[in-house]
Amino acid sequence: MSDEKLTPRNVDFSEWYNQIVLRAELADYAPVRGCMVVRPYGWALWENIQQALDRRFKETGHVNAAFPLFIPMSFLEKEKEHVEGFSPELAVVTIGGGEKLEEPLVVRPTSETIIGHMYSKWIQSYRDLPVLINQWANVVRWELRTRLFLRTLEFYWQEGHTAHATEQEAREETMRMLDVYADFAINEGAVPVIKGVKSEAEKFAGAVQSLSIEAMMGDTRALQSGTSHFLGQNFAKAFDIQFLDENNTLQFCWTTSWGLSTRFIGAIIMTHGDDQGLILPPRLAPIQAVIVPIFKSDPETATVMETVTRLQAELKAAGIRVKVDDRTEVTPGFKFNDWEMRGVPLRIEVGPKDIEKGTVALARRDTPVRDGKPGREGKSFVPQAGLAAAVADLLTDIQKSLLERATAFRDSHIFDPKDYAELTQIVQNGWAYSWWCESAECEVKVKEDTKATTRCMPLDQPGGKGECIYCGKAASQKVYFARAY
């Protein structure tokens, strides 16, 4: 942690992002190109994300399991679109135990194929359905341009894989998990997301339909933050996942898959962060409140620390994730900057004057700051008595404010361009919400002209018909065009 200022977001958003990740000690570069080390603070954030999602998965009837890291190369080749989509980015094990392998093994880029193989063994009858399994795993995709959290060779995610007796059930599952992701993103991450359908060009390799949640980052670029795929019978046919139905007729299953990854940490950073550093939503923050004791002389220390220890115990007992920063080798000012960089939602200062008055000073991370320090407006003085309840209320309020702020920012950067010329302007600093004829040609042209891609056709459509913003032909869907991560 250095005391240098971050590069401001409006100077170089990308550089700002990289600096935050390193200085807040969320992650570091690994010695292998494109790989990352998730440091303890970043991993604690991921663990909170995992818990919030896992609880939702279990509430919707899913169980966890673990499938192998290695997939025989021949498995990937069984689903034509799938292998085309993934073969350029595979890491391949060719040597095991000192010997060249007869069949090379792929390090999983995703697990539809190997899970499909196992499901074909496990599923016999309609009584075995639905199968609702998730796994928390590392996967590898050999990306050329990498960014910490956003796109790394190895990343961490969960991948759900389900098998159903009917198309309708599988489509419902796809939608249910999209809703789970949106609920998680909005209510835990304070990241407002839009649910929608991906275009044919942007969908998952091997899916019939891909749905996603899309979020707007602080530079207005879009980040696909979670995906849910209806796979039809594509993988069931490739891997022979069949069951005997109630009439004793052999049928292919209908399958889905859905995933959310450590990329979401990037979404949190770029949705909420400011020029002082990270801002974490309280529900996911590893540390929700940090207590900074303030003292100058030895006799003060004992008195202050006594109160600090008592308050820490009270907050902890109330279920608040609290940390005391009792370092003696750095100044309170250094600590303030440090915890601001790390995005701790609430700072609690306790000094000799507070002891006299029976108060503490609270500084919210999300309120305006001046010259890199919290201004008056960011600080309040509250009684020590009842502090835990006050802190809990404030955390709830911060969570709410972050979501409102991000939603307002997003909504003020989405426009409905009157023509294509306006669209090309809009996507330089916002999203265009336009009618689109759903042809790949128009999609490609927009991308060539502006670097903006179709993000999703939102589930929530205005209805009616319009004219494609590019070609003017009849269109029945509106789509978001945006530059994306």
List interacting residues with a second copy (CB under 8 A). 28, 30-32, 35-40, 42-44, 46-47, 63-72, 75, 87-98, 104-105, 107, 114, 117-118, 121-122, 127, 133, 137-138, 140, 142, 144, 153-154, 156, 329
Residue 57 neighbours by CB under 8 Å, 6+ apart? 64, 134, 158, 160, 180
In whole angstroms, how close is the CB of 40 to a second copy at the nearest point? 4
Nearer to a second copy, 139 or 362 (CB): 139
In whole angstroms, how close is the CB of 442 to a second copy at the nearest point? 31
In whole angstroms, how close is the CB of 276 to a second copy at the nearest point? 23
Nearer to a second copy, 298 or 329 (CB): 329
In whole angstroms, how close is the CB of 401 to a second copy at the nearest point? 29
The dihedrals phi and psi of 141, each to the nearest 5 degrees, come to -130, 125
Sign of CA dihedral 185, 187, 188, 189: positive
195 neighbors 182 (Cβ within 8 angstroms):
yes
- What gap in Å lies between CA 297 and CA 17, rounded to an integer? 39
Nearer to a second copy, 75 or 480 (CB): 75
Secondary structure (3-state) at 259? strand
Q: 38-67 in b/e burial notation, b at 16+ Cβ within 10 A? A: beebbbbbbebbeebbeebbeeeebeeeeb
Strand partners for 346: 289, 364
Give Cα 79 to chain centroid, integer Å. Answer: 28
> At what angle are helices 387-411 and 298-317 packed, to 10 degrees?
70
In whole angstroms, how close is the CB of 39 to a second copy at the nearest point? 6
In whole angstroms, how close is the CB of 259 to a second copy at the nearest point? 17
CA distances from 165 to 125, 365, 381, 432 (A): 9, 50, 60, 39
Nearer to a second copy, 319 or 383 (CB): 319
- What gap in Å lies between CA 136 and CA 50, rounded to an integer? 9
In whole angstroms, how close is the CB of 104 to a second copy at the nearest point? 8
In whole angstroms, how close is the CB of 53 to a second copy at the nearest point? 14
- What gap in Å lies between CA 48 and CA 63, rounded to an integer? 18
In whole angstroms, how close is the CB of 125 to a second copy at the nearest point? 10
Nearer to a second copy, 31 or 463 (CB): 31
* End-to-end CA separation in angstroms for the chain: 27
In whole angstroms, how close is the CB of 300 to a second copy at the nearest point? 23
48 neighbors 321 (Cβ within 8 angstroms):
no
Nearer to a second copy, 78 or 447 (CB): 78
Nearer to a second copy, 68 or 462 (CB): 68
Residue 32 neighbours by CB under 8 Å, 6+ apart? 153
Nearer to a second copy, 63 or 318 (CB): 63
269 neighbors 21 (Cβ within 8 angstroms):
yes
| 385 secondary structure, DSSP code | T
In whole angstroms, how close is the CB of 26 to a second copy at the nearest point? 11
Query: In what side-by-side order are the strands of the sheet with 414-415?
Result: 414-415, 431-436, 477-482, 453-454
> What is the dihedral angle through the alpha carbons of 191, 194, 196, 199, rounded to the nearest 10 degrees?
-80
Run of H or E including 174: helix 167-187
Nearer to a second copy, 130 or 374 (CB): 130
- What gap in Å lies between CA 311 and CA 132, rounded to an integer? 44
Nearer to a second copy, 154 or 240 (CB): 154
285 neighbors 321 (Cβ within 8 angstroms):
yes
Nearer to a second copy, 262 or 454 (CB): 262
44 neighbors 268 (Cβ within 8 angstroms):
no
Nearer to a second copy, 154 or 169 (CB): 154
In whole angstroms, how close is the CB of 201 to a second copy at the nearest point? 21
